[in-house]
Amino acid sequence: MVHRLQSYINALQSGEDISKKFTVRRVELRFGPHLFTPEIIKDTRRLLRASQAVFARFLGVSVQTVRAWEQGVNPPSDMACRFLDEIRLNPPYWQQRLKDSMLVKS
């Protein structure tokens, strides 16, 4: 990539017709998180087989926050939506991560 950029800079500096040497492409990336309805949030939590308290702890938010999401009082932040997206893309991975993070007290 650096080599190609240097080649482009050299062409500009030399006065070459860059339209004959380089192809310009436009790529649109959609990085925005999905919108999460209360039902989808509940479904995501259930994919992990987690209570609201465990789910909240796993996501790093309060139980009140999860409850507000699930009741439609407040929407999750973009960062939380990205995490929820990841959970929904590969539930078994996140189920195992959650399981591995639990400490059993005797």
Per-residue model confidence (pLDDT) at position 42: 98
Q: What confidence tier does 102 reach under pLDDT thresholds 50, 70, 90? A: confident
Question: Does the pLDDT value for residue 104 go beyond 70?
Answer: no
* Interatomic CA distance for residues 97 and 65, integer angstroms: 21
Q: Which domains does the chain have, with CATH numbers?
A: 38-101 (1.10.260.40)
Please answer whether residues 51 and 57 qualify as being in contact, where contact means their C-beta atoms are separated by less than 8 angstroms: no
**Tokens describing residue 44:** 């995501």
Per-residue model confidence (pLDDT) at position 106: 60
Please answer whether residues 95 and 106 qualify as being in contact, where contact means their C-beta atoms are separated by less than 8 angstroms: no
Q: What is the pLDDT of residues 26-80, one digit of tens each?
A: 878 777 778 899 999 999 999 999 999 999 999 999 999 999 999 999 999 999 9
CA distances from 60 to 20, 26, 57 (A): 52, 37, 5
